[in-house]
Amino acid sequence: MKSDRAARRLSWISGLVLSASACGGSTMENGMPPVDQRLEVRTAQGVVRGRMQDGSRAFLGIAYAAPPVGENRFRAPQPPASYTAVFEASEYGPACPQLAKDKLDASTSEDCLTLNIWAPAKDATPRPVMVFVHGGGFNSGSGSLPLYEGTHLSATQDVAVVTLNYRLGPLGFFSHTALRTEERSGTGGGNFGLLDQQAALSWVHDNIAAFGGDAKNVTLFGESAGGMSVCYQLLSPKSAGLFHRAIVQSGPCSTLVPPTQSESEAQGDVLATQVGCAAGDAQATLRCLRQVPLAKLMTALPLKPEIIFGSGYAWTPSVGNDVLPMPPQAAFSAGRFHRMPIVVGANKDEGTAFVALGVKLDTEAEIRTALASLFPPPAVDAVIRHYGSTPIGADTGLRVLGDAFVCDARRLARWTSTVVPTFYYHFTREFAYLLPNLGAFHGAELPYLFHTPLEFVTIKPHEEGFSAQLQSLWARFAATGNPNGMANVDWPAYDRIGDRSLRLDLETRSETGLRRADCDFWDMLLP
């Protein structure tokens, strides 16, 4: 029993890393119960019917794009079909294809481009909209995971909450020179997962008013690969005007440098060869790739664990195309990003979850091997010298990996704070009762933010106030662009001289100079 429970806990952690209506009702007719008119909403595609859920209206599994199957595989998302009857939006749609123990997860489907909406039940002026992008290393995850269920956040903070699916792995981030010949593809970059996110934001812009949301006040937030996605959407010309505030949670978008267009296309060539689609002209290659059985396509190349560690292939966004013209470091440092208020931060013990999942950082040799996946040899030597304790072991490895997140967040805050209001946080609340020595691990803020306790991550009675505070900070920022306004919380806007951050814990307080010496080192290593 204990081993089964531990397996479920690690599976959950892996998911984090990788991972206008009237009020009346009709009378009963033909023996059927009356329809609550608040639960029927007309969208551009037709009427959808949701369900009441703990003080919130839930509308689940709504298609924001056509199924990316057949001729639409490896194409930009296409408009969704219209409904000929009321669409019952009471169940989640399937997750996008991903692997489970190196095999295709049979519960997933290519027909996966759906979103979920939680809206307050009471009538009021248009609410702020909070659109969440899930993590999972761009290879796993779903907007329908229980951890991201938006009922509590919506009902208690009076906001509309949206989660979404986007294409993952090779389906989401495959690139190939043959795609350049396709005018309908909309991009030569193959960043289909990012284009899906933009299509979902566009659907929200066009339809959210019918659910009581304010299309002119949309906050995009995400964690891990979802945080990196928010970062990339801040840089993408194609996302201009689709959101108005951004929250980047543990998304190291300047430390993990995306592959170039040519590097991504080279990997696409390897995949095409592996599945037998390399011969012939561009049209023949694409025709072949679109006919490859899903399981064969998804398992053709071994995945690199946790995006960066070990051998294998990583499917991630690429740069040097019309979706992401410039690398994040160059774009942010040059001020070439969408101007809006930003919250950015990371957790105190970012590295522990990766180690719990099998990343080896116990010796100097293992630390060097991990760093070599990111940096050239001189940079690896510099890291070892900076963190060099005797002996160099697991504690050093956790510091290095943790600072890669924390210092990336400070770097982003330094770039953006010169032109837009920026708020920098450090999450330190530990799950001492979850697994030994995990601390405030990667993704530990999510159960508090969504108030979605699971079997092994329960919000204790003395933590309820902290969860409410965290929700309120995020919701206030979504409403106004400034998280301040609560009693006993002073979150100063970030500036380089003050170097102030907000420590998020049972006793939330402002701090100065978070890991300053180490972060100064990373800024020199990654200028």
pLDDT tens for each residue of 335-347: 999 999 999 999 9
8 within some domain? no
Q: Which residue has the tokens 């995306």?
A: 258
pLDDT class of 16 with cuts at 50, 70, 90: low
Higher pLDDT: 186 or 121? It is: 121
211 within some domain? yes
What DSSP element (H or E) covers 59? strand 56-63
pLDDT of 361 over the 80 cut: yes
| pLDDT, position 359 | 81
pLDDT class of 164 with cuts at 50, 70, 90: very high
| CB distance 291 to 204 below 8 Å | no
pLDDT class of 12 with cuts at 50, 70, 90: very low
Query: How many distinct structural domains can be found in the chain?
Result: 1
| CB distance 457 to 429 below 8 Å | no
The two beta strands, 114-120 and 56-63, are antiparallel
Q: Residue 405's CB: how many other CB atoms inside 10 A?
A: 24
Instruction: Walk across the sheet containing 56-63 and list its strands.
Output: 51-53, 56-63, 114-120, 160-164, 127-133, 213-223, 245-249, 342-347, 422-427, 500-504, 509-512
Higher pLDDT: 122 or 523? It is: 523
Radius of gyration of the chain (CA): 23
pLDDT class of 487 with cuts at 50, 70, 90: confident
Model pLDDT for residues 405-424, shown as the tens digit of each residue:
999 999 999 999 999 999 99
pLDDT class of 152 with cuts at 50, 70, 90: very high
Cα→Cα distances 424→217, 272, 289, 345, Å: 21, 43, 44, 5
- CATH number for the domain that contains residue 222: 3.40.50.1820
Tokens encoding 437:
């020595």
253 within some domain? yes
The per-residue b/e assignment along 357-387, b for 16 or more CB within 10 angstroms, e otherwise, is bebebeeeebbeebbebbbeeeebeebbebb
Query: What single-letter DSSP state applies at residue 306?
Result: T
The SS3 assignment for 153 reads helix
38 within some domain? no
Which residues contact residue 312 at a Cβ distance below 8 angstroms, ignoring those fewer than 6 apart?
A: 301, 302, 303, 304, 305
DSSP per-residue string spanning 88-126: E--SPPPPPP-EETTEE-TT--S---EEEEEEESS--SP
Query: Considering 442, 445, 467, 501, which one is annotated as catalytic?
Result: 442
Model pLDDT for residues 42-92, shown as the tens digit of each residue:
999 999 999 998 889 999 999 999 999 999 999 999 999 999 999 999 999
pLDDT of 455 over the 80 cut: no
| CB distance 145 to 179 below 8 Å | no
| pLDDT, position 334 | 95
Query: What single-letter DSSP state applies at residue 251?
Result: -
Query: Considering 224, 229, 250, 501, which one is annotated as catalytic?
Result: 224
pLDDT of 25 over the 80 cut: no
Task: Identify whether 442 is a catalytic site residue.
Answer: yes
Sequence letter at residue 294:
L
Query: Considering 149, 223, 350, 445, which one is annotated as catalytic?
Result: 350
10 within some domain? no
Sign of CA dihedral 82, 186, 76, 201: negative
CA geometry: angle at 471 spanning 470 and 473, to 5°?
A: 65
Task: Identify whether 464 is a catalytic site residue.
Answer: no
The SS3 assignment for 375 reads coil
Task: Identify whether 244 is a catalytic site residue.
Answer: no
Model pLDDT for residues 171-201, shown as the tens digit of each residue:
999 999 999 877 554 445 689 999 999 999 9
Which structural domain range is residue 299 located in?
50-78+91-525
